[in-house]
Structure 1
Amino acid sequence: MPVPAAAASAQRQLLRDSVFHRIRDAIIDGTLEPGERLLDAELGAWLGVSRTPIREALARLEAAGLVETKPGRYTIVSPIDPRTVRDAQAVTAAMHELAVRVAVPALTDADLAAMREANERFAAALAAGDVVAAIAADDAFHGVPVERAGNAAVRAVLDQYTPVLRRVERIRFASLVGRESVAQHARIVEFAAAGDAEGAALEARRNWTTLSVHAEG
């Protein structure tokens, strides 16, 4: 019957996505550290799922540069590699530049207010040393123009490559260096409020290219 089959397929997709996001987030927040071995049985016991969604999630994480696999030998959390970060940074910066350039003419007063509010939360989180909250607020800030741009390809690329940068930002946002992003965010909003799509887009690009890639790992 088509309806139950579709429902079962949707449930499997939701399960795969949930497993992927939980392992990905554990890598980003440092729960799973660079070089740590990832065993199907242990991950399955932790997440309460079978081997299949675990293997699917690990394959997606490998494509995103967060996991390394040697077939028949091991699967580990990827070390933070400067070249991988630089590659992800270049792509991510270009996507945010494009998203902002397209989004600015369509941004509403509510959108601009949401960006300002997210930046205030971002600044408060940095001041408090709350890296998790800082990353969430940063995601919220940049998410406004990305969603307003309405480009599914941009969202897909960012979903793949942003997690690589978030591992480095976890270090950056724990330091005073990360606070420059607050001023950069404010300039993006200022340009956007003035209708200057080019200025806002270039500032968004600078925001993503100032991330230090000399990470440890």
Structure 2
Amino acid sequence: MPLPPKDSRINRHSMRDEVYQTLLNWITEGVLSPCEKIVDKELASHLGVSRTPVREALRRLEDKALVESSANRWTRVAEIPPGEAEMIYPIIWTLEKLALSVAVGNMRDEDYQKMRRANQVLKKAIEKNDPIAASKADADFHDVIIERSLNPHLIMILQDLKIRYRRLEVVFFKGAHYAQSSIEEHESLITSLQNGDLQQAEQIIHLNWEKSLERQQSMESKETEKKDAN
């Protein structure tokens, strides 16, 4: 089970949450790959904690269907189900349009500045072919709108969906998922919001996710062809 180096030990005061967040990040970012076996003793040693917070974190991840186990036999990172993208993306763009319709009246200048900074980070990540940085920057961009909906239930649902979406990107696309058009769509979205044109902003959000799904399906098809050829 390959694990990244740890620069520091887990903070004892926030141990449970930090262990959970660390393992969640490793799964989301592809450090722990689908179907990879997880050994709680090894993780605990690597993180400098007891096995108890690791086991608690694994149970929480299992509740989110990111980890699966067989009693007293094995624990592993869950597989990505076939057709996951087709199931997730339409839900995300529908809920993001809902968030947008509420957030539009709450947006401030600093929010648009955050979105532009995230878009610049996305641009640089694409140029460097860095899928993890690109995925995070894209999420940071959309999160500004989601957070400004001020709806904790909607925010929580979208956060859970975005975990699955980011995992799909990193596992399958290695940076190819993103294109220059994503950056341009983001800029158009900011302009529409600043102009108060909700209808156009909703259309751009839909188009942005729809194109992402098309790119994802294309890359997944290529991966399948490559496996079949081998």
TM-score, normalisation: structure 1 = 0.83
Correspondence list, 1:64-75, <5 A: 64-75=64-75
C-alpha deviation, 1:26, in angstroms: 0.9
Q: Deviations along 1:181-210, whole A, 9 cap, x unmatched?
A: 212212221221111223223322332343
C-alpha deviation, 1:166, in angstroms: 0.6
Correspondence list, 1:124-143, <5 A: 124-143=124-143
Equivalent position SS for 1:76? strand
- Check the 8 A contact 2:28/2:167 in 1, yes or no: yes
Amino acid at match of 2:186: H
C-alpha deviation, 1:129, in angstroms: 1.3
Equivalent position SS for 1:82? coil
Change (3 A) 1:178 1:18: farther
Partner in structure 2 of residue 82 of structure 1: 82
Partner in structure 2 of residue 117 of structure 1: 117
- Check the 8 A contact 1:39/1:75 in 2, yes or no: yes
Partner in structure 1 of residue 149 of structure 2: 149
Change (3 A) 1:183 1:131: same
Partner in structure 1 of residue 5 of structure 2: none
Higher mean alpha-carbon deviation, 41-50 vs 64-73, is at 64-73
Amino acid at match of 1:192: L
C-alpha distance in 2 between matches for 1:178 and 1:65: 30
C-alpha distance in 1 between matches for 2:190 and 2:174: 20
C-alpha distance in 2 between matches for 1:93 and 1:53: 35
C-alpha deviation, 1:157, in angstroms: 1.1
Q: Deviations along 1:52-90, whole A, 9 cap, x unmatched?
A: 322222222223232222223221112222333433333
C-alpha distance in 2 between matches for 1:86 and 1:176: 15
C-alpha distance in 2 between matches for 1:78 and 1:103: 34
Q: RMSD value over aligned CA atoms?
A: 2.3
- State yes or no: 1:194 paired with 2:199: no
- Check the 8 A contact 2:118/2:140 in 1, yes or no: yes
Partner in structure 2 of residue 6 of structure 1: none
- Check the 8 A contact 1:99/1:149 in 2, yes or no: yes
Equivalent position SS for 2:72? coil
C-alpha distance in 1 between matches for 2:164 and 2:28: 8
- Check the 8 A contact 1:122/1:133 in 2, yes or no: yes
Higher helix share goes to which structure? Answer: 1
Change (3 A) 1:45 1:53: same
Amino acid at match of 1:74: W
Equivalent position SS for 1:105? coil
Equivalent position SS for 2:104? helix
In structure 1, stretches of 5+ residues that fail to align are 1-10
Count of residue correspondences: 206
C-alpha distance in 1 between matches for 2:141 and 2:185: 11
C-alpha distance in 2 between matches for 1:199 and 1:173: 31
C-alpha deviation, 1:164, in angstroms: 1.1
- Check the 8 A contact 2:134/2:175 in 1, yes or no: no
Change (3 A) 1:64 1:205: farther
Partner in structure 2 of residue 180 of structure 1: 181
- Check the 8 A contact 2:35/2:77 in 1, yes or no: yes
C-alpha deviation, 1:119, in angstroms: 0.9
Partner in structure 1 of residue 56 of structure 2: 56
Equivalent position SS for 1:35? coil
C-alpha deviation, 1:22, in angstroms: 0.6
Equivalent position SS for 1:75? strand
Change (3 A) 1:16 1:93: farther
